[in-house]
Each structure stands twice: as C-alpha cells, then as structure tokens.
Structure 1
C-alpha cells in the first residue's frame, strides 16, 4: 500500500482474526465502519455524519450516496474481537463505582468523571495490573486526590482499532475480584463530610490590630471549597496559657475541628506548638516531609482533629494542609505513617 493506511479494493487486511475490507455501499449493511465519515453542506454544516464503529443499516444507504460514497471501509469482527469503542466502554462499566459517571466512547476512549466533590478512591495495584495486559490502557488521577463534580477521574482506552475480547474479560475479572474482596469498585469517589471548625489566630501583631489578619480569609476559602466552614474565629496574643484556654473554649463549643494559626516555627517566641501540646492533644506529628507546609502540626484532642497551621497556608495554593484536610473530611483517622508517606511527591516548590 502507498499513500493510505487502508487496503486497496479486494485486498482485505487481517487484524487479529477480524478483517478490514473495502465493500460496495449496498453490501455494507450490518458491517462496522472502520473510520469516521464527514458530511459537508456548504454554508450549513460540516461535521461527522457517521462515527467510526457505526453499524451500517439500510436507511444509511441514501445518506452515504449523498456524500459521494460508493464504497466503504468496514470491519468484519471475529467472534473473539471487539471494536475499540466497545472495549473502552466495557472497561469503564467494570471499573466505575460509587459517585462516578462515564460518558460515551469516542475514538476508543471513555472518560470517567466524579459526580460529587470528594476524594478519589483508586487502587494503584489494579491500575498497574490492567496496564500490564497490553493493547488497553487505564489512566487515573492519584488516590486521595480531591476531585470536584464533573472533573475527570479516569479514562479507559483501547490502543488498536480491534481488541481481543480476552483482554477486556481480564479487566472485568480484575474489577470483579476487587469488588468481592473490598466491597467497592476500583475507581470511585468518597464523599466529604461537612464540618464546622473553630479558628484560633495567634500573634500579638494581629491581636493588637497592627497588621491585618490574612489567615482567616485563606482558611475559610479552603474549607468552603470542600463544603465545610469556619464557624467562629478568635484572636489571641502570643501567650501559651491564653492559647490553651481558647483551644479548650473551642472544644467546649463542640466544633468538629480546631485550627490554630501562626507561631508554628522554632523561634523562641512561637508559643503555638507548646500550647497545642499543653491542651492535652495527642500529637500525631509536628512537622511533615512536604514543602510547603513542613512546619504543620496535627493531632487529636479528645478525638477532635486539631491543626497547627504554618504561615505558608496564607499564601501558597497547595500545602500539607491541603493534603491532610480532605482526608479528615472524608472520615479518615490520620496516623504517623500517613504523614511519612507525604514525602514522596511532596516537593511543590524549589
């Protein structure tokens, strides 16, 4: 063949055990189109009349003649083969779970999107196992990533035009085994709880009004974007006992979360870490292997999550707070190993 990716007439190409051939339009009924067909109506329309993978019916014959088609390239699928769109569609159905929706196949790809704002729940081992099969592909966002309603979560893809059905059956088996073992699909989205937080802003310079508070607006925006809210904000000077008193006040108010901002470095006059500890907090970690946000403190005070937020939360769009906060809102109990795991991929600026 020269100048074309299609066979010459009467010279069929064998793809797996399926066949790609050129046939007369009248003889194509019941066969599968091998490529898109475009219609051009000057001044009115230019676009796809029939998509690749369309099964030709008798009613299509006049329309095909109208666009000048006397012959078509079609696929005669073997019983053990699938067209790329069918393969991608079946994979999406098998893999998708709670709070997801998938679209129509297009050029061998199906996009899976989130129906809600939540946390991506994707099993890395399943993704790797599927991608080892060959001739098919699965691309996803990272596990525990925040996804918003309508955002892409995963995409299934058939690499060749014709895919052996055994490949897709393997994907379906992998997904089914995972569902049986864990009670959920390999690709799903966990909803976030709506929490009310008490926000305590420390710092004599803010308390006395010498500078404008910038922590409050930044923290409020982050919580509101995830469906939660700052229910109350209070201001205190850099005094350990006063900070402890205000933390206990928030605890008594019954807020779902306590956020303490400012004074988180190692300077002698930074009282916040000591005050959070003195309040009786079970500290999970003071410091994270992530930049920005390495000076973040996290723990539990009588079961209530409490954060000590460093200054970077005011001005950096993505910090360790943005990693841990969604996990807390999803109902996870954060342990030391979760913090340790933040180092790999945790450098977000140089």
Structure 2
C-alpha cells in the first residue's frame, strides 16, 4: 500500500485518509475517489489529497477482515458483517467463553496491521454479547499477512461459547442444632437463583444430619436423578477425612481436590460419583456475592470438565471482592459505599413532531424543560449528571448554565437514539456502576422517583437492569448496569436498549412510577396539556 500526498490527477481509485470538505462536497475518510469526485475537487481548487493507493498484492480492509473471519474456526459464535475493516463476533447463546490464547497471541504477532481482541477465558457471556472483534487497522493489508494467519489458524479453534446445558442439580445441606433453619432456607434461595441464572433447575433438596453415613446416603439418592450434586456442610471442612469428603468416599465416590486458590472460596471440595460431579460448597457460597464456587458451577453447567489442574490454576485473578459479613475479614477497612449511578439526560433529539420548535426549550413555570429535567437529575443524586446534546446544542447548553452537569456532544444525533446512548456511556466515569437513561422530555418525573429506582439498583448489587413502569407496562427511565455497556455499542439507528434488556440474560427489576413513567411531550398539544409553554430558542 502506498500512502501519502497524491496529486489530484493521479488520485482516481485512491482511498481518502481523512475526511475532505471542498465547497458543498463532503467526502468521508475511507471514501474511494471517483471521476466525479476528482472533477468536483478540482473545481474547488483542490490540487492534492492525502490518500492510500492499493498495490496488486494488497487486500482491501473489508475483504481482509472477511477473509480472516473465514480462516478462523469457532463455535457458539456469530460473526457480523465487515465494516471499516472490522468484524464483531457475538455469542449465539448465554454461557461461558473460552479462547485459545496462544493462537490469538500468535495472530496478533504476525503484523501490527491485523488485531484480534477477545474477552477473557471463562468469562460469563449473555446471548448476543460481543465476545471478540477482528480489526484491520490500515485501509489494506498485504495478502501474505492473511495467508500467514490462515496457516496459523488451520485446525485450531480460536474461541467458542459453551452454552448453559439446562443442568439438573440436587442440593444437600447437612444440619446441626446450631444451624438455624432460616440460614438453610436462605442458602436454598441463593443457590436456586444461581442455578436459574445459568438456565438450570434445582430439582430437590435433602437436609440430613451432619454425619458421614446419612450424608453418604443422601448423596447416592440425589446423584441418581441429577447431573451433579452440591453439598453444604453444617461446619467448614478442616481435613480430607472430615464429614463431607468422607461421605463422598463412603457413597462410593472419589475426591479429586480439596481447597482452591480463590478467596472467598478456599474451602471447596471437588469430588465425583459414577462419573457425575459432587461439589462440596464453601460457606461463602451461601452469599450471593461472587466467589470461587461460582467459577466451578458455571463450568459444570456448560458441561465443561473441572479437574484438579483447573482448580489449582485459578489463583491468578482469584482474589475476589471482600464480603463485609465475614467474621474475620482479610482487610478490616470499612465496607465500600453503595454503588454510584450516573444519570444521562438524553437531550439530543430534533423534536420532529413539534412543528419547528424545540420542546426542550419550552418552559414549565418559566424554567426550560431541559433545565427542569437536569435539576431533577441533580437532586436525585446522579454521579455525575451527563447532558447528551445534539440538535440546537448551543441553545440547550445555554439553558444549563450554572448547573453541575457534564456536557456530552452527540455529533451523530440525526442517526437516532442509539448514538445518544453510546455517547452517554462513553462519558460514564469508572466510579459509576450503572447509568440511568433519562429522557429530557418527561416533566412529571420527580427526584423521589429517580431515587427510588437508584435504591433498587443499589440493593441488587448493581447487577440488574432497573426499569420504570406504568400500570405494569414498560416506561422510562431505565438504569443499565455496567455489565451491559459493551452491548449498547452494537446498536444502530433509532433503536434503544429494549432488546438488550429483554434478552433474558440480565435480571430486570420493574419499579412502578405511575403516569410519570409514560408522560412525555412529543407534540405541541401534549406539551400544553402537561403545563408547558413553547418558547423562542435562547439566542
């Protein structure tokens, strides 16, 4: 590929390196120059352009990305179309992602013009979540580079998504007089939730005494009708001959490993009976917070084998977040504060149904609607409040003068709602666990409404979508947890996050807000009925 300044008369078929404006002609970066383009550029007194010209051995970026995609083997993954040299790959089902890291590293070492980025091995993924992206960085790449990568990839699986298999799981909890029934009941609920999240079912539960023989009998009973068995001992295991491992052996099973280098989760037992796993769960798995048991459960529920070598290899990255309720916490610092939530005030739209007026500049009690909505978001405790502006951005920004808001300009606002969601997320600080998407034209919402939704999000641990409803019907606003942020960048056009929310892979908490969740002001009549007055734009 030849790159540099090209005389206009030699630029036919060249690829523009930068967006070029000449008179009323606007050409985007990556545009292939035609005879008409050259004629119009010449008429505008343009004599040279910065461009790339392909050589015979070069492969154009989209073709190169498509060829590289075809050369890779994967399972449980769907590739999108090649656009601007990029192919995004998405999970076809919810499950666990695995990757041949050596192959990906080898491909990335072939030439800096070709890159593949993926999730980490054994990351839990949702249906349609992006798991990898293939990118050709320049406008073209030498065909020899693609040929070399094709050779490297031959016969190897680059990555795959192992779908949750609908596992049937039996639960056993041993009992002692000192263990309250309420603790056992809570543990059952926590485990049922974990299993349901992985598209499985907890078939039954037994509560034998905390003794070797009755526990062994319970293990044999549940093992017959389940894919595997989970055992919670009434007391922590302290030796390989303690009650739980001894009972697994008494039942005719084997112990593969006791303990794991994941904290919390150290006291896990990995056993087997007649080819089916028997897992002695650590006490921390009674809590819904992530721990080493989750890592093992996820793998087993996708039919991935878990061996002793797998367990001992979990130490790097195995230091997980603290559980404040532990009787002897590893780090006695105060518990972390409740999750921050950013509030994105979506105010980039063109008010197309307002007959020329901008509804966000209409006044309610002499206050512009956009300012009124921003004040509500500030009072609700948005950290921070992000105003996404586009259409009439200067006037809207003037209406926000003096307020503690972050201004985020959506240059592509005319393309639709998706670009505003993406602009908002791009401006959410790392300190925020989620972002509330708040339409700026909903005058009936109060700070109390927004605070109620934020509290529900915080109570869920910052891992759920929280959605406003009106008489049980979907409304606005909605809080998106950080885990779903990457998926928002797969959206395009005038599309919101509805299908991401309703994919079933992220828990959704509905909060009934009544009329306020449905009242927006898209037309002059709706605005007047809501108590607003159309105003002239701020100059």
TM bin (shorter chain): 0.7 to 0.9
Give the TM-score normalised by structure 2: 0.51
- Stretch of structure 1 that moved more, 81-90 or 124-133: 81-90
Equivalent runs, 1:133-282 vs 2, <5 Å:
133-135=110-112, 136-175=114-153, 177-179=154-156, 185-204=157-176, 209=181, 211=183, 213-252=185-224, 254-263=225-234, 265-266=236-237, 271-282=243-254
Give yes or no for the alignment of 1:309 onto 2:286: no
| Structure-1 residue corresponding to 2:300 | 328
Separation of aligned partners in 2, 1:261 and 1:38: 69
Listed as ranges, the matches of 1:89-100 within 5 Å are 89-100=66-77
- Partner of 1:186: helix, strand, or coil? strand
Classify 1:60/1:219 alpha carbon distance in 2 versus 1 (closer, same or farther; 3 Å).
farther
- Verify: 1:123 aligned to 2:100, yes or no: yes
CA offset digits 1:230-284 (Å, max 9, x no partner) = 11123334333332222222134x111111123352469x733332332222111
CA contact 1:284–1:298 (8 Å) conserved in 2: yes
Match of 1:338? 310
- Give the aligned partner of residue 18 of structure 2: 35
State the shift of 1:206 in Å.
Answer: 8.4
Counterpart in 1 of 2:327?
Answer: none
Which structure would you say has the larger RCO, counting Cα contacts within 8 Å and 6 or more residues apart?
1
Q: Is the 8 A contact 1:204 1:236 kept in 2?
A: no
d(CA) in 2 for partners of 1:69, 1:121:
55
CA deviation string 1:25-65 (max 9, x = no partner) = x98654323235689x9xxxxxxx86533434568789x88
SS in 1 for 2:207: strand
User: Which segment drifts farther, 203-212 or 108-117?
Assistant: 203-212
Determine helix, strand or coil for the equivalent of 1:97. Answer: strand
Residues in 1 aligned to 2:170 and 2:15: alpha-carbon distance in whole angstroms: 62
Aligned with 1:146: secondary structure? Answer: strand
Aligned-partner Cα distance in 2 for 1:326–1:116: 14
Stretches of 4+ aligned residues off by more than 6 angstroms = 58-62
Whether contact under 8 Å (2:6, 2:51) holds in the other structure is yes
Contact 1:18 1:77 in 2 (8 A): yes
Gaps of 5+ in 2: 322-329, 331-539
How far 1:76 moved relative to its partner? 1.5
Q: How many residue pairs were aligned?
A: 314
Deviation at 1:199, TM superposition (A): 0.8
Q: Offset at 1:152?
A: 2.2
**Separation in 2 of the partners of 1:280 and 1:138?**
47
Secondary structure at 1:112 match in 2: strand
CA contact (8 A) 1:33 1:74 kept: yes
1:9-28 matched pairs, under 5 angstroms: 17-22=1-6, 24=8
For 1:131 and 1:280, the matched residues in 2 are separated by 48
3-state SS of paired residue (1:213): helix
Distance change in 2, residues 1:137/1:200 (3 Å)? same
Q: Is 1:87–2:64 an aligned residue pair? A: yes
* Distance in 2 separating the partners of 1:206 and 1:169: 67
Distance 2:302 2:205 in 1: 23
Q: How well do the aligned residues superpose, as a CA RMSD in angstroms?
A: 3.3
Cα separation, partners in 2 of 1:212 and 1:281, compared to 1, 3 Å: closer
